[in-house]
A = this chain, B = another copy of it.
Amino acid sequence: MLVVMEEHAAEEQIQAVIDKLVGLGFDVHRSTGALHTILGGVGDRDFEAAEFEVMPGVKEAHRIVSPYKLVHRGFRPEGSIVRVGEVAIGGEAVVVMAGPCSVETKDQIERIAALVAEAGAKVLRGGAFKPRSSPYSFQGLGEEGLRLMREAAGRNGLLVVSEVMDTTQIPLLAQYADILQVGARNMQNYALLRELGRLRKPVLLKRGPAATIEEWLLSAEYLAAGGNYDIIPCERGIRTFETYTRNTMDISAIPVVKKLSHLPVAADPSHGTGRRDKVPPMARAALAAGADALVIEVHHDPDNAWSDGAQTIGPEQFRELMGQLRMIAPAVGRSL
Q: Does A222 contact B (CB under 8 A)?
A: yes
Residues of B within 8 A of A135 (CB): 190, 194, 218, 221-222, 225
Q: Does A147 contact B (CB under 8 A)?
A: no
Residues of chain A at interface, number, CB under 8 A: 111
Q: Does A213 contact B (CB under 8 A)?
A: yes
A285 and B289 within 8 A (CB):
yes
Q: Does A261 contact B (CB under 8 A)?
A: no
Q: Give CA–CA (A169, B235) in the complex, Å.
A: 31
Q: Beta-carbon contacts of A131-152 to B below 8 Å, as 1s and 0s? A: 1111111000000000000000
Residue with the greatest number of chain B CB neighbours at <10 A, chosen from A186, A189, A192, A303: A189
B131 and A244 within 8 A (CB):
no
Query: Top 10 A-B pairs ranked by shortest CB distance?
Result: A210-B210, A33-B42, A50-B310, A166-B191, A185-B188, A327-B331, A285-B285, A284-B288, A288-B288, A281-B289
Residues of B within 8 A of A29 (CB): 31, 33, 38
Q: Give CA–CA (A319, B194) in the complex, Å.
A: 40
A273 to chain B, nearest CB (A): 5
Q: Give CA–CA (A74, B6) in the complex, Å.
A: 9
A250 and B252 within 8 A (CB):
no
* Chain A interface helix/strand/loop/mixed: mixed
Residues of B within 8 A of A244 (CB): 212-214, 256
Sample 14 A-B pairs with CB under 8 A, ordered by A number. A2-B62, A4-B62, A35-B44, A53-B310, A132-B190, A133-B188, A133-B218, A166-B167, A168-B168, A208-B210, A210-B238, A255-B281, A284-B332, A288-B288
B54 and A310 within 8 A (CB):
yes
Residues of B within 8 A of A276 (CB): 54
Q: For chain A residues 202-256, which have a beta carbon within 8 Å of chain B? A: 208-210, 212-215, 218-219, 221-222, 225, 238-246, 248-256
A38 and B64 within 8 A (CB):
yes
Q: Does A40 contact B (CB under 8 A)?
A: yes
A31 and B35 within 8 A (CB):
no
Query: Given A67-B134, A188-B133, A245-B252, is A50 in contact with B275 using a C-beta cutoff of 8 Å?
Result: yes
Q: Does A165 contact B (CB under 8 A)?
A: yes
14 more contacts with CB within 8 A, not counting A7-B74, A131-B188, are A4-B62, A8-B74, A31-B40, A31-B42, A34-B42, A59-B64, A60-B64, A133-B219, A165-B189, A168-B168, A240-B248, A255-B278, A285-B285, A288-B288
